[in-house]
Structure 1
Amino acid sequence: MTEQPQTKKVFDSTTFRDKPVSFVRRSGRMTPSQIRAWEESRDDFVLDIKHGPAATSVADGEHGEPVEIFGRDAALVVEIGSGQGHQILHAAEAHPEKNFLAVEVFRAGLARTVLRAKEAGLENLRLAEVNAPELLEKYLPESSVSEIWVFFPDPWKKTRHHKRRLINEDFTRIASRVLAPGGVLRLGTDWEEYAEHMREVLDAAPDFERDFDGDWADRFDGRVLTAFENKGIAKGRAIRDLAYRRK
């Protein structure tokens, strides 16, 4: 039997960036059905965003209007790091009255999402294969998003890698720009130290206020229980939710 190649890490170039990115790209294997769905249906779901010098950067001057992208005016929910699409697909099916945008740099995950979105006949879902902060800062208009979801981002556990964490002071500035007044930033993690870091950063952000009482928010009832979250629970980790509202 031929040995299957392992998934390889592909580091997104930082040569042309002034900030570290919060991800490591992985070139995962796609099934024939996923390859076919990607080739045949990606234009129906994946936004055509011109890239800058780096593989997942957003070129200067690129911007998109949600009304034009979706063909209607509706509340827009953006999920950062959608993975294989379990959360965003469930939400798009459950709430046809809303628009959903999944942001992911892992192409195999995007292909799986495209395949399932096509099978479900979803018309309120789009995908973006770009660095999420650049999409929020450059591509989407100010105050155009009703909710931003960041569920189980890479905690970058080693201290020397903390600079690569997505949730930082600069991200709160970018998120406040794109969120409409009253819009909500929802966060979830199974890494306690990162949860405390998130809370500290958002508590200090001038444009946000807590949308929960006590130490942690209740579990977001719109979040499906994924295999990833189950793994954290199985390891005895507490799942921490946070929710902050744009003032």
Structure 2
Amino acid sequence: MTEEQPQTRRQYDPTTFRDKPVSFVRRGGRMTSSQERAWDDDHGRYVLDIKNGPAAASLAEGETGDPVELFGRDAPLTVEIGSGQGHAILHACESHPERNFLAVEVFRGGLARTVLGAVEAGVENLRLAEVNAPELLERYLPAGSVEEIWVFFPDPWAKVKHHKRRLISPEFARIAHRALAPGGTLRLATDWEEYALHMRDVLDEAPEFTRAFDGDWAERYEGRVLTAFEQKGTQKGRDIRDLTYSRV
């Protein structure tokens, strides 16, 4: 997806992911007063202190994190890419206190809303990362440290000329395989039919993964709460497509 441009060309570092698709679209917008208070008071409790590289939301060279240290315990880890306002991952945190959850999002308002929800729910098994997800999966987290990766409703980049910006690609399959533990799970969902077909083709052909469903599509993942975004897509007549793959 897109990102903000560096202020000067000499700030661009070709070793970062800016020649590859990224996991986000940079958005502006103001936070509500409650979100601002949550961010000021509690972001240090949940948001990881990750040093950025020269490009927007990039990962600084050599920056790494150990989930056991980040959470203060050893537990199965789920990473959600593009967590938005945190509806799905907050529900998961409350439903599965025995697991750890890492939400990856660069929309500051969404992060603040997630922090607010986490404080209200009193969850302790959640951390948030304000960084480009492919870099986090490939270079920040240890190999094989993630049990599940969620990618729910990524930007479909509908125009053909923009398909190269799509997150789900053979390169992403390689990166996800590196982060996942043996037998780990990759869950995807979209309301965009053509992108669903694209994702299925990419992962069916990826030697790193095998289908974890029968038929054309996976059953709806029961852990994904019904959000306003998903409801809107359904109301427009779009079919919600789920896919589930296991790491080989």
User: After TM superposition, is the score higher than 0.5?
Assistant: yes
SS at match of 1:27: coil
SS at match of 1:126: strand
Q: Distance in 2 between matches of 1:207 and 1:45?
A: 32
1:210 paired to 2:211: yes
What's the % identity of the aligned pairs?
A: 73
Aligned residue for 1:244?
A: 245
Letter aligned with residue 119 of structure 1: E
1:37 paired to 2:29: no
Checking the alignment, whether the CA contact within 8 Å between 1:12 and 1:56 is kept in structure 2 is: no
1:76 paired to 2:68: no
Q: Distance in 1 between matches of 2:98 and 2:131?
A: 25
What TM-score results when the alignment is normalised by the length of structure 1?
Answer: 0.94
Checking the alignment, whether the CA contact within 8 Å between 2:24 and 2:82 is kept in structure 1 is: no
Letter aligned with residue 117 of structure 2: R
User: What aligned pairs does 1:73-112 form with structure 2 within 5 A after superposition?
Assistant: 73-112=74-113
The alpha carbon displacement at 1:24 in A equals 1.9
Q: Would you identify which runs of 4 or more consecutive aligned residues in structure 1 move more than 4 Å?
A: none
Aligned residue for 1:225?
A: 226
Letter aligned with residue 67 of structure 2: P
Deviations 1:105-145 (A, max 9, x none): 10000000001101111100000000000000110000000
The alpha carbon displacement at 1:20 in A equals 3.5
The alpha carbon displacement at 1:22 in A equals 4.1
Aligned residue for 1:59?
A: 60
| C-alpha RMSD of the superposition | 1.1
Deviations 1:36-82 (A, max 9, x none): 11011101000000000012000110000000000000000000000
Q: Distance in 1 between matches of 2:185 and 2:21?
A: 25
Aligned residue for 1:3?
A: none
The alpha carbon displacement at 1:178 in A equals 0.4
1:12 paired to 2:12: no
Aligned residue for 1:114?
A: 115
> Where do 5+ consecutive residues of structure 1 fail to align?
1-9
Checking the alignment, whether the CA contact within 8 Å between 1:149 and 1:186 is kept in structure 2 is: yes
Q: Distance in 1 between matches of 2:109 and 2:42?
A: 14
Aligned residue for 2:48?
A: 47
Alignment length (residue pairs): 238
Q: Distance in 1 between matches of 2:66 and 2:88?
A: 24
Letter aligned with residue 94 of structure 1: S
Checking the alignment, whether the CA contact within 8 Å between 2:23 and 2:82 is kept in structure 1 is: no
Checking the alignment, whether the CA contact within 8 Å between 2:210 and 2:246 is kept in structure 1 is: yes
Q: Distance in 2 between matches of 1:55 and 1:147?
A: 26
> Where do 5+ consecutive residues of structure 2 fail to align?
7-11
Q: Distance in 1 between matches of 2:78 and 2:22?
A: 22
1:158 paired to 2:159: yes
Checking the alignment, whether the CA contact within 8 Å between 1:152 and 1:188 is kept in structure 2 is: yes
Q: Distance in 2 between matches of 1:120 and 1:239?
A: 28
The alpha carbon displacement at 1:18 in A equals 2.5
Q: Distance in 2 between matches of 1:130 and 1:13?
A: 15
Q: Distance in 2 between matches of 1:144 and 1:23?
A: 23
SS at match of 1:188: strand
Letter aligned with residue 44 of structure 1: R
Letter aligned with residue 110 of structure 1: L
Checking the alignment, whether the CA contact within 8 Å between 1:187 and 1:242 is kept in structure 2 is: yes
Change (3 A) 1:22 1:120: closer
Aligned residue for 1:149?
A: 150
Q: Distance in 1 between matches of 2:4 and 2:63?
A: 20
Checking the alignment, whether the CA contact within 8 Å between 2:21 and 2:167 is kept in structure 1 is: no
